[in-house]
Amino acid sequence: MASAEFTSPESTQAVPTVENPSDEKQVNVDTSTETEIESTAAIFQAVGVITGSVNFTTDGQSTVTIGSYEYPLYYSKRQWDVLNALKKEIENTGNQNQRLVVYPKAIHFPRREQPHRIGFQLVGFDRGRKLDAVSGELEDLEFKLSGLWQFIPVCSTPCISVFRNFSDERLEFIKQAEPARKVKFMKASHIPLLWKDAPVRPFRFNPKLEKDQQGRAVFVTIKAKFLPGRDVFGFVALTALPQEAAPRFLKASKEDKATVQSAAKKAQRAAAPPAPKKGKSKATSQDNTSVPRTKPLPKPKPKLKTGE
């Protein structure tokens, strides 16, 4: 087996949704399947190659060390066969240094001052370069990124936002899915990118402007290189001209996101232990078990002395 590449994964990127870049064709996503990766049509995608030391821990976690920096290595249920093949390859060869095909996973946090984190989702591994696959097209640490070039509210570095590519089958699934599953399925991946002298400026939402004055994010297709330690990607080359109109993609509605957030807050409140009451508790008559207050005994009157 020369490679275990390209199983169809579910998107696992857990990132906040961007300010609305464009409402015209909002129906797609971040990662792609084998046919999408090899297609010449414009699509949203983020896939690349890393080489590092793979480590599997006893608690089921996995990491990949690139140089002196360690990153989480994720996998979905659809990658079980690839994961087991990778484990067997390391066990048989004793070589933990592997060339992996991965999707980048950027995790952003609500507070802008809190730095994002980078991880990778396993797609496949390559024992030798396959010229007709992504592992043959890209050098180590190189990625193919296609998405909307813009700032997101929680990151000071501009990002390429990769949404779920539209298909009729996915649309039918979304129509029938519960809000939580729907929102998770359509969550985008926002890949932080350093791009000096970019031919187009990254879109930045301005709350002071009306919608028709905002402009829109441009769709770009580039090759970039991951910069370990800095946890960002650096621009290498344009692989297609920037496009004003993006391919069709899926994006969760504000209503569905609000429903999911409300349900999550309710669940947190229900799971939280009751806060301790301050001061002495007072008896109430809320139920039949309330204890009535005991009246204090009257003080005895002093005895009168003779002659008084």
Q: Is residue 158 part of a domain?
A: yes
Q: How confident is the model at residue 284 (pLDDT cuts 50, 70, 90)?
A: very low
Mean pLDDT of 107-120: 92
What's the distance, Cα to Cα, between the start and end of the chain in Å? Answer: 117
Q: Is residue 125 part of a domain?
A: yes
Q: How high is the pLDDT of residue 9? A: 33
- 3-state class (DSSP) for residue 88: helix
Q: Which of 141, 151, 158, 145 is nearest to 227 (CA)?
A: 141
Q: How high is the pLDDT of residue 129? A: 58
Domain range enclosing 54: 45-266
Tell me the pLDDT tens digit for each residue of 138-194: 999 999 999 999 999 999 999 999 999 999 999 999 888 888 888 888 899 999 999
Instruction: Please give the residue that has the higher pLDDT: either 111 or 246.
Output: 246
In whole angstroms, give the CA distance from residue 287 to residue 248.
59
Residues near 69 by Cβ (< 8 Å), separated by ≥ 6? Answer: 228, 229
Q: Is residue 145 part of a domain?
A: yes
Residues near 74 by Cβ (< 8 Å), separated by ≥ 6? Answer: 12, 62, 105, 119, 120, 121, 122
| Burial per residue of 189-212, b for 16 or more beta-carbon CB atoms within 10 angstroms, e otherwise | bbbbbebeebeeebbebeeeeeee
Whole-structure pTM value: 0.73
Q: Is residue 34 part of a domain?
A: no
Q: Are 270 and 264 in contact (CB under 8 A)?
A: no
Q: How high is the pLDDT of residue 35? A: 31
Q: How high is the pLDDT of residue 264? A: 83
Q: How many domains does the chain have?
A: 1
Q: Is residue 304 part of a domain?
A: no
Residues near 285 by Cβ (< 8 Å), separated by ≥ 6? Answer: none
* pLDDT mean across residues, the chain: 80
Element (H, E) at 150: strand 142-150
Q: Is residue 102 part of a domain?
A: yes
Tell me the pLDDT tens digit for each residue of 63-92: 999 999 999 999 988 889 999 999 999 999
Q: Is residue 284 part of a domain?
A: no
Q: Is residue 185 part of a domain?
A: yes
Locate all alpha helices (DSSP H) within the chain, ordered by sequence.
Answer: 34-38, 80-93, 134-137, 168-176, 179-185, 254-271
Residue 270 pLDDT exceeds 90:
no
Q: How high is the pLDDT of residue 257? A: 83
Find the range with the poorest average confidence among 175-179, 265-269, 296-300. 296-300
In whole angstroms, give the CA distance from residue 96 to residue 54.
5
